[in-house]
Amino acid sequence: MQDKRVLVTGGAGFLGAAVVRELAEAGVTALRVLARPGEALDNLEGLDVEVVRGDVLSVEDCKRAAAERDVVFHLAAIYRDYMPDPSPMYAVNMRGTYNMLEAARRAGVQTVVYTASIVALGRPAPGALGDEQTPYNAWDVDFPYSRSKHLSMWLAEDFAAWGLDVRVICPGMVFGPGDIGPTPSGQLVINVAKGETPAYTDGGCSYVDVRDVARVHRLVVERGAPGERYLATAHNLSNKQFFQTIARLAGTKQRFPWIPVRVARAYIKLLAKIAIRRGEEPLLTPAMFDYSCRPPYFDNRKSIDELGASYRPIEETIADALAYFRARGVLE
């Protein structure tokens, strides 16, 4: 990829900046980032990149960003667990995807990598592992991020069906160093490390290091195939396993009692109502809780076998995330 002219939308964000750094370390020199007006560029510090300020909701901004590019990584999206009005999330994640891919098509871009999510796929049956083709089945959960990523993935694949070289990556729950926001994933790590997650209930998720996902983005261009989906995830863990690992590495010596799902759901609904009345963001929304009660566990063999992806131990990821949050003063 060293001779490619590359655009990374959302390149100043958590995962986007990790992709930019991965490409720079691989020798890509013609790097352009589309960042929102006023967006902090802390995650790009020390990198030689061209920064274009703009919004994926602006057709003209998308045209300007995609001009004279060979490869576009489209990561710009709103990733939030809670929004009083999710309309902006649907607009950015769906209309923004259409605008960027159409700009790439018109500019003659060779390859587009669209970043979806495991929540854009269906949740497998209990005891089973999902894969890239697991049908979406979370329409009964009012989870706007999941719905918007599923529908925007459809958009990206429609462009692939019409002949644009689009390749789709579905990362697991991404966390690690550099989570400047923090994202909901990073906030969960912070909450557990602070002792603000007093118990666990049934459920779980599939987790992955941000740096490993960034590497998969590069590998998808080098070794992937047009129109294909690739899961980028590594560790299928229950809530208890994940919380205990964080607590152990944070040195908090917490014990997490188990509580039934129905009790946890009622408690989370109550806490969410209180937070919203105070004008605060809930630590965990009922929708996110309901979604994770049926664990989205996935098989990453396709990324390993076809792309040569590799994934680091989750202990390394958690330790590096905790060190990052401590360095930023988020954790004492």
Give the pLDDT confidence of 16-60 residue by residue, as tens digits.
Answer: 999 999 999 999 999 999 999 999 999 999 999 999 999 999 999
- Domain span including residue 47: 5-180+206-234+296-312
Residue 273 within a domain: no
Q: What is the pLDDT of residue 267?
A: 87
Residue 229 burial class via C-beta count within 10 angstroms: exposed 0-12, middle 13-18, buried 19 and up: buried
Residue 135 falls inside a structural domain: yes
Question: Do the domain assignments include residue 200?
Answer: no
Read off the pLDDT of residues 276-289 as tens digits, 9 standing for 90 and up: 899 888 877 888 88
Number of domains observed in the structure of the chain: 1
Sheet of 229-232: strand order equals 50-53, 30-35, 5-9, 71-74, 111-115, 166-171, 229-232
3-state SS, 176-242, equals: CCCCCCCCHHHHHHHHHHCCCCCCECCCEEEEEEHHHHHHHHHHHHHHCCCCCEEEECCEEEEHHHH
In a domain, 285, yes or no: no
Q: Is the pLDDT of residue 104 over 80?
A: yes
* Residue 185 included in any domain: no
Return d(Cα 91, Cα 16) in angstroms, integer.
19
Determine the Cα–Cα distance for residues 186 and 190; give it in Å rounded to an integer.
6
Would residue 228 count as lying in a domain? Answer: yes
CATH number of the domain where residue 102 is located? 3.40.50.720
The stretch 129-133 carries a mean pLDDT of 97
| Cα–Cα nearest to 325, from 178, 124, 172 | 178
Q: Which of 140-149, 158-167, 215-224, 252-261 has the lowest mean pLDDT?
A: 252-261
What is the predicted pLDDT for the residue at 146?
A: 95
Q: How far apart are CA 121 and CA 279, in angstroms?
A: 32
